[in-house]
């Protein structure tokens, strides 16, 4: 079962109350750097109340805390390469063991290699009463992505994601929600972007094909307003969960 969502396919805006009744189960958000995985994950969290598990955020948390994993990961992330599978899988396993994942979760940016994909497929297949995984791939024209990456700014307090070109805050450099000063990720440079895109093409694009082949796969156009992209994902996931 494979679904391609096109503009206008969604029937209602996110946040419609009856949608909360859907048991979303495990979702994978796939796509190149900057396509909007984090932005969409936050929309889905709001609707379904399941956690976003971003391996990028978990790794950045380790970097900020100066853990052994963080010290090792920092250099790799600055080159736009991938942290070894065994370390990332272990980090994800620990997070999935937490009780808030019971009704489902959104894996944002994981799996990113075929090794990670085979590992997570096995983990999820052996989980008692778990729904089968749905993989969502977000696609955006390559030429748009550099602006999305270099223009991105994050709120360190509420984690809201902005873009100085596309999704700007009301006041320059200041979060609309809580007034915190927005920050830029250290890997959001043009130089690092090239490495990240190369890594994506070599190691992560095959993961998208893996899930396309397995079915329960949705491909959405991410080059639309945030709410429209979200509505497309929600409507497709609901159909696959019926
Ligand atoms: P990670 O943090 O996962 O980065 P990424 O995959 O490169 O993805 P991004 O976070 O850059 O983009 P996004 O798709 O979430 O887009 P966003 O919503 O922010 O990983 C960082 C590093 O950690 C990796 O390079 C690697 O080293 C390591 N790592 C992570 N996971 C790993 C793993 N599994 N294995 C090994 N290593 C791993 O949006 C981007 C911008 O676009 C924002 O400014 C936003 O406002 C804007 N935007 C979003 N949607 C729209 C829209 N519809 N219209 C207009 N603008 C939009």
Domains by residue range for the chain, with CATH: 4-140+201-240 (3.40.50.300)
With a CB cutoff of 8 Å and minimum separation 6, the contacts of 18 are: none
Cα 129 to averaged position of ligand 1 atoms, centre (Å): 31
pTM here is 0.91
With a CB cutoff of 8 Å and minimum separation 6, the contacts of 140 are: 31, 32, 34, 35, 36, 148, 221, 222, 223
Is 212 part of the annotated catalytic residue set? no
Is 185 part of the annotated catalytic residue set? yes
Nearest CA to 12 among 3, 4, 22? 22
Q: What is the pLDDT of residue 114?
A: 98
166 lines ligand 1 (CB under 6 A): yes
* The pLDDT of residue 84 is above 60: yes
223-229 mean pLDDT: 97
| pLDDT classification of 242: cutoffs 50, 70, 90 | confident
35 lines ligand 1 (CB under 6 A): yes
Is 139 part of the annotated catalytic residue set? no
Cα 131 to averaged position of ligand 1 atoms, centre (Å): 26
Burial of 107 (0-12, 13-18, 19+ CB in 10 A): buried
Q: What is the pLDDT of residue 20?
A: 57
- Which of these is catalytic: 95, 112, 153, 160? 112
167 lines ligand 1 (CB under 6 A): yes
| pLDDT classification of 128: cutoffs 50, 70, 90 | low
Is 152 part of the annotated catalytic residue set? yes
The DSSP code for 112 is -
Contact 105, 51 (CB under 8 A): yes
Atom of ligand 1 nearest to the CA of 167: 46
Around Cβ 46, how many Cβ atoms within 10 Å? 11
Beta strands in 140-177 (DSSP E): 152-154, 161-163
* The pLDDT of residue 18 is above 90: no
Cα 37 to averaged position of ligand 1 atoms, centre (Å): 6
Query: Measured between alpha carbons, how far is 231 from 207 in angstroms, rounded to an integer?
Result: 24
The mean predicted confidence, pLDDT, of the chain is 91
């Amino acid at each position: 079962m494979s679904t391609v969502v096109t503009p206008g396919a969604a029937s209602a805006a996110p946040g419609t109350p009856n949608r909360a009744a859907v048991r979303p189960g495990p979702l994978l958000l796939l796509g190149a750097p900057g396509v909007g995985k984090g932005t969409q994950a936050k929309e889905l969290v709001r609707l379904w109340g399941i956690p976003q598990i971003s391996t990028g955020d978990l790794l950045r948390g380790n970097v900020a805390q100066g853990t052994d994993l963080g010290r090792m990961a920092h250099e790799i992330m600055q080159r736009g390469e991938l942290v070894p599978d065994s370390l990332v899988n272990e980090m994800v396993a620990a997070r999935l063991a937490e009780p808030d994942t019971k009704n489902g979760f959104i894996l944002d940016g994981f799996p990113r290699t075929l090794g990670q994909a085979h590992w997570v497929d096995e983990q999820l297949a052996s989980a008692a009463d778990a729904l089968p995984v749905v993989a969502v791939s977000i696609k955006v024209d390559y030429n748009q992505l550099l602006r999305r990456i270099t223009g991105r700014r994050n709120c360190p307090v509420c984690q809201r994601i902005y873009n100085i070109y596309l999704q700007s805050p009301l006041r320059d450099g200041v979060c609309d929600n809580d007034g915190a000063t927005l920050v830029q990720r250290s890997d959001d440079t043009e130089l690092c972007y090239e490495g990240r895109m190369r890594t994506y093409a070599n190691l992560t694009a095959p993961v998208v094909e893996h899930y396309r082949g397995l079915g329960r796969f949705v491909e959405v156009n991410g080059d639309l307003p945030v709410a429209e992209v979200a509505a497309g994902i929600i409507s497709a996931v609901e159909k696959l969960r019926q």
